[in-house]
């Protein structure tokens, strides 16, 4: 990671939206602004540092690397987001690694300054609580998917999550640019080869169409129906076990 002059300020960070320009300026002076290149690791899993990082520009990825080498992607973050707050709050090692996906500009703030700011500004505290609550809900949903859905249904769920509606056809959706198979594997906790195999099968079945610029989900009713059927089957199994 290389040090550089900050081209931006914390004014771009949603957490501080209620602060005045003077308060932002004072916080800027208490941060260290840095730039990192794409593919640089900003935070390592289990690292014992407690600084909080604010992503001023660019995009990064939150992930866990297992001893086996398998990587699980937890979420993507864009400019205006922040990370590292868990360790600043409880002083424990990092719960995930952060990888720069593109060149990024970040602001590093010590845990002491972060906690001081959070406790002195009610709106900042509320925004932090909402973010943590959202992360817990997201992780709960991911755990539920990993434990109740088969690989194909997990893949379909992730593609639906990444897609946007196709204005030309209400029964289609588009994922653009098309995600790397390795990235999809990391998102649903499986292997790249398994994702490739499932996508090929789904293409033969007329569910998706792969192109250079986009992956098209060409039969949304069938894809969503497959997820509903899997969830209903799981609910039925759970009910049967209680009888």
Q: Domains in the chain, start-ordered, CATH in brackets? A: 14-145 (2.60.120.10), 149-242 (1.10.10.10)
| pLDDT for 142 | 87
Give the whole-angstrom CA distance, residue 235 versus residue 51: 43
Give the whole-angstrom CA distance, residue 146 versus residue 190: 10
| pLDDT for 59 | 96
| pLDDT for 26 | 96
Q: Phi first, then psi: what are they for 222, rounded to 5°?
A: -70, -40
Total number of residues shown for the chain:
243
Phi-psi region of 229 (alpha: psi -120 to 50; beta: other; left: phi over 0): alpha
Q: Both tokens of residue 218?
A: 């060409």
| pLDDT for 107 | 97
| pLDDT for 236 | 43
Q: Which residue has the tokens 């390592």?
A: 44
Give the mean pLDDT per block of 10 residues along the chain (243 residues). Answer: 61 94 96 96 93 96 79 90 96 94 96 97 96 92 89 94 92 93 92 95 95 93 89 59 50
| pLDDT for 211 | 92
233: helix, coil or strand?
A: helix
- The predicted-structure confidence for 167-189, as pLDDT tens digits, reads as follows 989 889 999 999 999 999 999 98
Burial of 52 (0-12, 13-18, 19+ CB in 10 A): buried
**DSSP state letters, 72-109:** EEEEEEETT-EE-HHHHHH-PPPSSEEEESS-EEEEEE
């Amino acid at each position: 990671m290389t040090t550089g002059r900050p081209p931006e300020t914390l004014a771009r960070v949603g957490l501080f939206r209620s602060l005045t320009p003077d308060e932002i300026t004072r916080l800027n002076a208490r941060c260290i602004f840095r730039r990192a290149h794409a593919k640089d690791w900003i935070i390592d899993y289990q690292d014992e540092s407690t600084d909080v990082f604010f992503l001023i520009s660019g995009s990064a990825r939150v992930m866990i690397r297992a001893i086996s080498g398998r990587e699980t992607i937890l979420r993507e973050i864009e400019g205006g987001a922040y990370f590292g707050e868990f360790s600043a709050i409880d002083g424990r090692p990092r719960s995930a690694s952060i990888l720069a996906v593109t060149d990024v500009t970040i602001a590093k703030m010590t845990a002491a300054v972060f906690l001081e700011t959070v406790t002195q500004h009610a709106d900042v505290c509320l925004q932090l609580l909402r973010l943590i609550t959202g992360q817990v809900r997201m992780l709960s949903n991911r755990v539920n998917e990993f434990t109740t859905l088969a690989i194909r249904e997990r893949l379909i769920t992730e593609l639906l999550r990444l897609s946007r509606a196709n204005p030309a056809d209400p029964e289609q959706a588009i994922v653009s640019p098309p995600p790397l198979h390795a990235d999809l594997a990391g998102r649903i906790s499986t292997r790249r080869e398994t994702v490739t195999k499932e996508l090929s099968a789904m293409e033969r079945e007329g569910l998706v169409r792969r192109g250079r610029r986009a992956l098209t989900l060409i039969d949304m009713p069938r894809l969503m129906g497959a997820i509903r059927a899997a969830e209903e089957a799981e609910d039925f199994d759970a009910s049967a076990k209680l009888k």
